[in-house]
Structure 1
């Protein structure tokens, strides 16, 4: 559906050239919710604006449904943009227009017949749960209600792609959840392809199928949400995930664990129903190893449980190898985070 190929973007700030995007390659499949996360200044908003060419790349290709948008003339590009809705962080509503007119304005601009406009706006307000707010003005709406108006407006031209520019960052947690539920509902009912940018990993875990992590204008990591959450590779990704589960080990704890003799710290990721499997009991009884849970948590990714356990495992070297081999088959991902016995350098689970 969307392909960004070798995208670079350079801005001239005075006499200085700023590289906002560096060799970006992304593919977004039809019907999926794709998240882009990064700290402020990472290049997320610039990347999002590439998809509808509100920002043109310095080099590279922007392909939407097989068309390179950079090869289109102005009229062709306008027609493509009609099928790409966008939701803004600050709502961007017209203060002098009521809810109905805020949604209807884009239809009028595209010369939709008046009778069709009334029916369409009613359908959209029902979809976003504002059917009783048609005559209200933005000043009388809550933040969540304003964003629902923004979503209805973005859907007015029956888009195939919906871009969300930090759509929940100005909202409280409860309102954020309601907006995310609405986006999931829209994705399911309308089959929309959704690309959202955020600096909140909680937004990613609740809505997205796949995610890209950005830093300094580059995509440093990407994959399915379950893969990125279970086995983060980059320090920035780990920093974001630390807000959901913190699996760091203090030096004091390391000192105590080293007293156990030959041992390892394992990071185990359990996906789906296996998150509740008693694998530690199995390896303790079957392989005569001693296990202690250092840290544990279960989080839900679009309703699918992902369990993360940090486990200290000690015992005879041969038994440890067998136990870790069993774990590699039994759980979603096993990583030897730290070898506590400096005499043993073999990596057992890579």
Structure 2
């Protein structure tokens, strides 16, 4: 559906050179919700604008359905852009237009007959839950309602792709959830491919199928949301995931857990139905070790359970080794985070 191949973007000032994007390679499948996450300045917005060539890359290829947009003539490019809707963080509504006209204007600009416009706008306002707000002006709307108008406007030309530029950053948590549910509903009903940029991992986990993590203009990690959450590799990714799970192991905690027996803190990742299995009680019963949950939680990634638990395991060295081997068979991933006291080397196999 969307392929970005070896994309670079360099901005030049009078005495400066900024490499905003460096050798970006992404493939986004038709109908999926793809997230791009990174801290401020990572290059997310620039990358999003490259997809519809609002920002032309310095080098590389931008392909949509196999067509390289960089080779298209201006008229061909305009036709492609009509099938790419975009939602902005700050809404960008026309204050002198009511809700109906804000949605209808793009249809008028494209020569759609008035009767068709009336029908289309009514359908879109019903879809986004604003059928009773057609005559209201932006000044009288809440932030969430303004964004719903923006979504309706982005859908006016029946796009195949919807780009979301920090679409929920200006909204409170409850309103954010309602907008994310709306985007998921639109994705399912209309089969749209959605590309969503954000700096919030909580947004990624609620709506995205796959995610790319950006840092300093580069993609440092990408994969399914389930893979990234259960097994983050890069430090930046760990920081984002850690903000969701609050997985900090403090020195005070380590001191309190220190004892005579060898012991470890393990990070356990449970995926799917295994997130609900009582494996820790089975370990304690079968191997005579003591297990305590330090902290963690079970979350749901588009309906799939993912559990991240930090567990303190202590006991006889041989039993600990057997217990860890058992856990490796039963859960998706087992990682030894810290050794608290003198464990023989052979326990870490």
TM range (shorter): over 0.9
Whether contact under 8 Å (1:336, 1:347) holds in the other structure is no
Q: Residue 310 of structure 1 corresponds to which residue in structure 2?
A: 310
Please give the residue correspondences for 1:311-326 in structure 2 after superposition, counting only pairs within 5 Å: 311-326=311-326
Whether contact under 8 Å (1:266, 1:313) holds in the other structure is yes
Please give the residue correspondences for 1:1-350 in structure 2 after superposition, counting only pairs within 5 Å: 1-341=1-341, 344-345=344-345, 348=348
Query: Against the structure 1 CA distance between its residues 122 and 339, is the aligned structure 2 distance closer, same or farther, given a 3 Å change threshold?
Result: same
Whether contact under 8 Å (2:290, 2:314) holds in the other structure is yes
SS of the residue corresponding to residue 130 of structure 1 reads: coil
SS of the residue corresponding to residue 229 of structure 1 reads: helix
Whether contact under 8 Å (2:265, 2:338) holds in the other structure is yes
Structure 2 stretches lacking a partner, 5+ long: none
In the TM superposition, residue 147 of structure 1 has moved relative to its aligned partner by 0.6
Distance 1:96 1:45 in 2: 28
Whether contact under 8 Å (2:163, 2:195) holds in the other structure is yes
In the TM superposition, residue 343 of structure 1 has moved relative to its aligned partner by 5.7
Whether contact under 8 Å (2:34, 2:209) holds in the other structure is yes
Structure 1 stretches lacking a partner, 5+ long: none
SS of the residue corresponding to residue 196 of structure 2 reads: strand
Distance 1:255 1:131 in 2: 59
SS of the residue corresponding to residue 129 of structure 2 reads: coil
Distance 1:256 1:118 in 2: 68
Whether contact under 8 Å (2:180, 2:207) holds in the other structure is yes
SS of the residue corresponding to residue 45 of structure 1 reads: helix
Distance 2:179 2:115 in 1: 29
Deviations 1:49-108 (A, max 9, x none): 011011111111111111111111111111111110000001111111111111111111
In the TM superposition, residue 321 of structure 1 has moved relative to its aligned partner by 2.3
**Which contiguous aligned blocks of 4+ residues in structure 1 show a shift greater than 6 angstroms?**
none
Distance 1:181 1:348 in 2: 44
In the TM superposition, residue 346 of structure 1 has moved relative to its aligned partner by 5.2
In the TM superposition, residue 344 of structure 1 has moved relative to its aligned partner by 3.7
**TM-score, normalised to structure 1's length?**
0.96
Kindly report the root-mean-square deviation, in angstroms, between the aligned alpha carbons of the 2 structures: 1.5
